[in-house]
Chains A and B, each alone.
Chain A
């Protein structure tokens, strides 16, 4: 995606006191990210439609809260994002995501490449704060090339969208409800190995945490040289990335 805006730009809004130009039909998060501003987010990705489920991108628009990925940008908006109050709320929601699953970062091969971890660092999270829920979520290693460690799923739905919108396969879906909500795999057995999932799928590389992993690749890049080891997530937004 280009970070240049054509002459038909509908207008500008203010993000934490800085002017941001937005294009036609863009959400606040889209416009902010494209112009290199960091609004923390997990369930949104520039290639796919927004769902608004993680709520990490929650901002105040003219005093009212809303998810930056779902609120349409409009001229004259005053958007607050990088404030103590909002960052502290984000930290609380990240803590919720951590206690909801089973996250043992030191042993996770996604460590250093994980957006959940990197965002938690950016928000100054130092501990879980809430009691751990310790859910029972089995690992699915049935696929020859890929594996699913559902312990780390934050239900962002990015794999669902990527499989549907980019791969035209619908390998993933969301099941259950309430705290029992979980990821489903589309196959007769419900296991990844019996699905049409392929290592080359777009959905194979979209997971922001360490759920969808390529087998035999873990720790190829040593810890310390990984993506968020080099630079914090907040400094990696140029050009519509992250």
Chain B
């Protein structure tokens, strides 16, 4: 598709020709052109006075940007383990067969490309897909896949596809504070204004609220540090990157409780003294953008955003939405800030921490979507009230995104301290073998541990709760997670960039039946190294599922070893690969007998 110089100038004018808007600029261009040719990258670089290699480096970093041609229809099937359990693998084969295209490639007529993507956050209504990095299709069935292929062949525009396919449900199964009745519009802000910034901060301190993004850092401490940091401007950032496979609570909070989220951000702005807020919305949630913008617009008209909020002179705050482009690591707060600044999403060196020098070098507080929701409720009902819910070290409630082998997947909100077994009972899980709490970077619990409790004292979680019954192969679960981390490594540091790849290769080797006890030893060694040596939490957590499953489900691994003792030196058939390349042969006769 052509993209004229006038169009590009109009777009860049809208973004003030600011280099830090590069990711947004590339995303908007690609929405029109499908892919980013070198020529397009060059004109963006020229106009923003950036080196072409820099623009190319940014475009090549994000999974949803394409610097090679792609199909007019770009279909990405969600590849989380829960999607696989719901049959995504077979659907992928079916779709590719119907369309006559190989996974990961573009059909020769340029009509369509099909590939997989990391978790789309639709685990409770999978198998899911994303079309053209915009529309999410849930509940894929063989019928739906067949109809989809027909629509692609007939070149029917997305807007005319059945609306039913794009339906995303909330599936709220159990409510407590945050998913229950919401405070009246503006009530949280009014309460915060009445208290004043310092008392509001004291109230958050009293609540003992800890961040809901995973690490559980004290929200009051973070805000205090940000408030005390000197800078020209302070920023409030809402982390809506929700990339952890199995987590989808933030999606529901944004689609049905956006006012509460934005209100929490506004309260944070009052406390830290920020005039601008940014929502980092993951690319997979692009379909919500127009809706969220309409909520922001309404709030401006209601005097809840913009200059002099609720009539208070000097309380000026507005919110802007940045859309990500498919990179899990951008959920890490310093990588997120790099991405907001239009760069590759590699985590920064800390210190300085974002609260001292974050977005554009200014003091910035980054908080999770659910954290901001909690703040609004605390503003209305008080820190004292919140601190009485949950446990002494983990106050309040936590929302769990439940998926996998259970009758009622969806959202469950409980006070902190809830027993794992209780959640399993409530969601209708039967014959459960294991639960992955907090996603692949969390912990894998076996049935012996279902009496443990959710909370920072025992089992912390970012929200995911994936259930596996006894029919599941925990080795394949760990292998799926290993592939996820290798796919999402930002590539910056040695142990993660190379380590995640080596882990995948070992797991593949075991899966092919060529493993030996030595391979398990190497996996242990990689786990130990990556835990301590990586630059950020992604690489540090990448072997968690591996370690948990080797430790707790060892037979799943040992079943795959050729011998528990013997270590094969090399794979005879693989040794022939160069000969096959040289002769251009890959027929069965060119292979030694394989065990696969």
Contact = CB atoms under 8 A, between A and B. Distances in A.
Given A178-B489, A178-B490, A187-B52, A99 B57 contact: no
Interface stretch (B73-81, B363-371, B416-424, B528-536): B528-536
A177 B349 CA distance: 18
Rank and list the top 4 A-B pairs by shortest CB-CB distance, nearest first.
A181-B491, A186-B53, A173-B53, A96-B498
Given A99-B498, A130-B502, A180-B491, A55 B54 contact: no
Interface string B465-505: 00000000000000000000011111111110111111001
14 contacts: A52-B493, A53-B492, A53-B494, A56-B494, A96-B494, A99-B502, A100-B497, A131-B502, A173-B54, A175-B61, A178-B487, A181-B491, A185-B53, A188-B42
Contacts of A54: 493-494
Nearest to B536: A52
A234 interface: no
Interface string B36-54: 0000001000000001111
Contact of B53 (A65, A96, A172, A181): A172
Contact of A179 (B52, B351, B501): B501
Interface residues of A, number: 42
B558 interface: no
B327 interface: yes
Given A52-B535, A175-B56, A179-B489, A133 B494 contact: no
Contacts of B62: 177
Contacts of A133: 498, 501
B497 A181 contact: yes
Contacts of A50: 349
Interface in A62-106: 65, 67, 70, 72, 89, 92-93, 96-97, 99-100
B525 interface: yes
A154 B349 CA distance: 19
Contacts, number: 119
Interface in A175-202: 175-181, 184-188, 190
B51 A178 contact: no
A131 B502 CA distance: 8
A170 B53 contact: yes
Contacts of A171: 53
Select the residue from A72, A93, A154 with max chain B CB neighbours within 10 A. Answer: A93
A121 B500 CA distance: 25
Contacts of A122: none
Interface in B516-543: 522, 525, 529, 532-535
B61 A177 contact: yes
B344 interface: yes
Contacts of B534: 55
A206 interface: no
Given A171-B53, A179-B501, 8 more contacts: A55-B535, A89-B533, A96-B499, A131-B505, A170-B54, A176-B60, A179-B489, A188-B52
B498 A97 contact: yes
A221 interface: no
A54 B327 CA distance: 21
A177 B489 contact: yes
Contacts of A55: 493-495, 533-535
